[in-house]
Structure 1
Amino acid sequence: MRKRGHHRHAGARLTAGLRTNVLALVVPLRAGAHDVGVREFVAAAISAAGARDHALLLVTAEEGPAALRRAVSDSVADGVVVMDVEAADPRVPVLLGLDRPALLIGVPDSPRGLGCLDLDFAAAGALCFGHLAGLGHEHVALIGPPPAAYRRGSSAATRLAQGFTAEAARRGLRATALAWGDTHWRTLRGLDALFAHHPDVTGLVVHNETALPAVLASLQHRGLRVPEDVSLVAVCPESLTAHSLLELTCVAIPAREIGALAVETVIGQLDDGTVPGTRLLAPRLTPGASTAPPRLP
């Protein structure tokens, strides 16, 4: 948890008599979005809002800043939670002009005083690499979200990759960061290219929940055993690992916790008029059966 600066927010002027008890939730519905994480976040946010006698108005990311402005400025929503934040997110200026409490799920390059909440993905990337390095792996590859996520400047994707590569540099070890589509065919081709160019890779970090089953199947197709030949760490909602035949080493994305905290944070802004600064949840790695020391040559 870090950067807990507080200051007054204009949304405090919404008195109890003028409030609608509706929060706008901007959710990504684009191809390649992390479906399980989004569903868990939304479900937890709905539950938390209901427990506080609030309702959620869902606004899809594809509707853009104009839809966000309409949903809030027309007094439909008292406050707003925005998911899938990007480095130069075009919704930040809109949120600043709405005169309503707002919370970003993710950290843009310039939050400009808006509250931010997320997993500390940079620390998660470093934690994944450090776990594998501690087992003796000297070259680890990161399989991230599809390239479109990096082109958009997805906060989670870029911060995890930065933490991953920074930890490798700190230890003087090798890191390879990759991004490809999440279909089985693209995953198979991607792993073929990875091991053709980097045959010394003995560890994988998979930060792509949609591609995770395809990665495991493609490794088996290549005759590579986990963890005997390749160790693997997954970064995904913990519930996703329950569907794997192998108990995966995992850094869990706490989507449910973040969803509930997001609602509580915005309602808190409405109640007392403070902006919560940036809050990053510390990642936790749960060892499983998918990581082990590398096999000796």
Structure 2
Amino acid sequence: MVTLAEVARHAGVSASTVSYVLSGKRSISAPTRERVEQSIRQLGYHPNAGARALASSRSHVIALMVPLRTDMYVPVMMEIAMAVATTARTHGYDVLLLTGEEGPAAVRRIAGSSLADAMILMDVELHDQRMPLLRESGRTAVLIGLPADTSGLTCVDLDFEATGALCVEHLAGLGHREVAVIGEAAAVYERHTGFAERTVDGVRAAARNAGTRILHRPCEGGYAATAATLARVFDERPGTTGVIVQNEAAVEPLLNLLQQQGRAVPEDVSVVAVCPDQVATQASVRLTSVAIPAQEMGRRAVEQVMAKLGGRSTDEVDLLEPVLTVRASSGPAPV
């Protein structure tokens, strides 16, 4: 087993310096801290959790709050959670996973105990009831998602407004003037979940600028729900030639239904998705899409936590720029 003294020798510093890097009790210069952290990673040093907690008054645990709801796409949530866990380990931290829909009660439980040194919160709503308690607690916290009011908070997220706009701009540039948005389940919008609301806001703003008509319809996902939603879209807007999908469970049913209806993709209907690259590339028609950078979001959230714990960060909003990849599912609007 690697010892603290061996880490110190490898990094060319004293054992007390390594201890201070681990505990955060004293300010260590950035180059020295980075050298020590690199030695910890290279040697695979794992300090004794009990001794470390006693020495530093820290648990070296991050609480990750991931409410697992049936109306959310769990694989993306879990990919973010895995990125949080693996990045935390590089800093000598473990992750406590809280998956219940407890809301403020979960924040209260962590804030009022020594279970974790920091919190990362996911599934953030625009008017999230956890935010007032989070601000009052003063505990180190980072959000993966944006509430309506980000003051006093540190947030990491994909820029979903820009994502929605990018999808519309791509279709408008191909001549599409009637575009439908097949969105998340209705409950996601009823909760005013940030990413879904912000995407629609971006879609509508870009549509106004481009002179494109938008029809947004929530969808529960799955074949039957997607069939009903698609039928409603063409009943209300028969001239629809572009579809934006932000619902992974509706992607493959949508493509199958269009084929059954004799609507070729992209000759008759162009489809653009907001989804993981794996979903886009494995669909029956390779989808033009904006990827969800799940791993990068998880990694950045942990880095923000570590910066805050080390006194090296102020509250900020870190938005990842969306990237649209053109594949086989989008083309010029039919004449």
Normalization by structure 2: what TM-score? 0.82
Tell me the SS of whatever aligns to 2:217.
strand
Give 3-state SS (helix, strand or coil) of 1:279's partner: strand
1:289 is aligned to 328
Corresponding residue number in structure 1 for 2:147? 108
User: Match for 1:50 among 83, 89, 111?
Assistant: 89
Task: Verify the 8 A CA contact 1:85 1:105 in the aligned structure 2.
Answer: yes
In structure 2, C-alpha distance between the alignment counterparts of 1:185 and 1:103, rounded to whole Å: 38
Matches within 5 A, 1:23-62: 23-62=62-101
Q: Which residue of 1 aligns with 2:214?
A: 175
Give the match for residue 193 of structure 2: 154
Structure 2: runs of 5+ lacking an equivalent: 1-22, 26-54
Alpha-carbon distance between aligned partners in 2 of 1:182 and 1:29, rounded to the nearest angstrom: 17
Is structure 2 residue 232 aligned with structure 1 residue 218? no
Report the equivalent of 1:6: none
Mapping of 1:1-297 within 5 angstroms? 15=25, 17-272=56-311, 274-296=313-335
Which residue of the partner structure matches residue 46 of structure 2? none
Q: Is the 8 A contact 1:59 1:68 kept in 2?
A: no
Amino acid at match of 1:38: M
Deviations 1:24-54 (A, max 9, x none): 1010211111222112101111110111111
Task: Give 1:72 deviation, angstroms.
Answer: 3.3
Q: Distance in 1 between matches of 2:284 and 2:189?
A: 30
Secondary structure (helix, strand or coil) at the match of 1:193 reads: helix
2:252 alignment partner AA? P
Q: Is the 8 A contact 2:255 2:285 kept in 1?
A: no
- Give yes or no for contact 1:122–1:162 (8 Å, CA) kept in 2: yes
Residue 5 of structure 1 corresponds to none
- Tell whether the 8 Å contact from 1:118 to 1:281 is kept in structure 2 after alignment: yes
**Conserved? CA contact 1:28–1:61, under 8 Å:** yes
- Counterparts of 2:333 and 2:150 in 1: how far apart (Å)? 42
Which one-letter code corresponds to 2:87 in the other structure? A
Instruction: Check the 8 A contact 2:304/2:313 in 1, yes or no.
Output: no
Change beyond 3 A, Cα 1:74–1:148:
same
* 8 Å Cα contact 1:36-1:240 kept in structure 2: no
Residues 21 and 272 from structure 1, CA distance in 2 versus in 1: closer, same or farther, beyond 3 angstroms? same
1:184-230 Cα shifts (integer Å, max 9, x gaps): 10110110111111111100000111221221122122221111111
Q: Which structure has the highest strand share of the two?
A: 1
Displacement after TM superposition at 1:273 (Å)? 5.0
Contact 1:27 1:59 in 2 (8 A): yes
Deviation at 1:239, TM superposition (A): 2.0
The separation in 1 between residues aligned to 2:151 and 2:309, in whole angstroms, is: 19
Which residue of structure 2 lines up, in the alignment, with residue 9 of structure 1?
none
2:86 maps to a residue whose letter is S
**Distance across 1 between alignment mates of 2:314 and 2:254:** 41
Measured in 2, the distance between the counterparts of 1:223 and 1:26 equals 44
Pairwise CA distance, 1:67: 2.1
Q: CA deviation at 1:105?
A: 1.3
After TM superposition, give the deviation of residue 61 of structure 1 in Å.
4.5
Amino acid at match of 1:73: G
Which runs of 5 or more residues in structure 1 are unaligned?
1-12
Distance 1:24 1:125 in 2: 31
- Pick the structure with more helix per residue: 2
Structure with more relative contact order (C-alpha pairs < 8 Å, separation 6 or more): 1
Matched residue, 1:8: none
Q: 2:18 — aligned with what?
A: none
**Runs of 4+ in structure 1 over 3 Å off:** 13-16
Question: RMSD of the alignment, in Å?
Answer: 1.5
Q: Deviations over 1:69-96 (max 9, x none)?
A: 2123201110111001101100101211
Shift of 1:241: 1.8
Partner of 1:3: none
SS in 2 for 1:74: coil
CA distance in 2, matches of 1:64, 1:113: 19
Letter of the structure 2 residue corresponding to residue 97 of structure 1: E
Count residues in correspondence: 284
